[in-house]
Amino acid sequence: MAVILNGDAGVTTTSGAEYNGLQQPGSQSAASTASVIFTDVPSFVKRITLQIYNLSTLSSFSGLDQRIRVGTATAGALLSSGYTAGITTTTASSTITAITNGISGFPISAATTVASGQFVLTNVSGNIWVSTGTVYRFGDLALTYSAGSIDLGVNALDRVGIVNIGIGFDSGTINVIYE
């Protein structure tokens, strides 16, 4: 017997597991904003992929300012703490930086630097999430890797987003896929 999924309906297996297919609520422009947030993450989601395309910042400020964050209905917003994560950027002088204000992140070194890549957040169990990410910065030929985790305790994840701390974005597109 063949099963065809068109993304409109889920399938329940004989063991009771459900597969709802890929859900793509749409992409958002990052132009003229400090954050792009996807709310109402469906409760069945076990993996979230955030894709960024040609993202750039408003000024030439250099630093680790872009964060991938999650949030809960209880908090009513993206969480700014509680994360355990790290970032490394491969350039002529590579460094590893610990972060606690996002599950993943990446630096954009100048206003002329454009970044593209993706982050995958996976539900380990309960409300524990882990993340990996890879971003390539075209302006300075740098590749950034990141990984992290967060335990949301009794609160379920209901939103995910990317935040530019302090200056905002001037261009780019961010897309989300739920599985």
3-class secondary structure per residue, the chain: CCCCCCCCCCEECCCCCEECCCEEEEEEECCCECEEEEECCCCCCCEEEEEEEEEEECCCCCEEEEEEEEEECCCCEECCCCCEEEEEEECCCCEEEEECCCCEEEEECCCCCCEEEEEEEEEEECCEEEEEEEEEECCCCEEEEEEEEEECCCCCEEEEEEEECCCCEEEEEEEEEEC
pTM given for the model: 0.83
Q: With contact defined as beta carbons under 8 Å apart, do 103 and 161 qualify?
A: no
pLDDT band, residue 14 (cuts 50/70/90): low
The tokens describing 63, both together, are: 């630093």
Residues 6+ apart with CB under 8 A from 17: none
* Domain boundary assignment for the chain: 37-154
- Which residue from 99, 87, 80 is spatially nearest to 144, judged by alpha carbons? 87
Q: What average pLDDT does the segment 10-33 reach?
A: 73
Cα distance between residue 101 and residue 159, in whole Å:
16
pLDDT band, residue 40 (cuts 50/70/90): very high
Q: Is 84 exposed, middle or buried (0-12, 13-18, 19+ CB in 10 A)?
A: middle
Of 12 and 122, the structure prediction assigns the larger pLDDT to 122
Q: What average pLDDT does the segment 113-142 reach?
A: 90
Q: How are beta strands 115-125 and 11-12 bridged, if at all?
A: unpaired
Q: With contact defined as beta carbons under 8 Å apart, do 115 and 135 qualify?
A: yes
At 98-115, the pLDDT tens digits run: 777 777 777 666 666 788
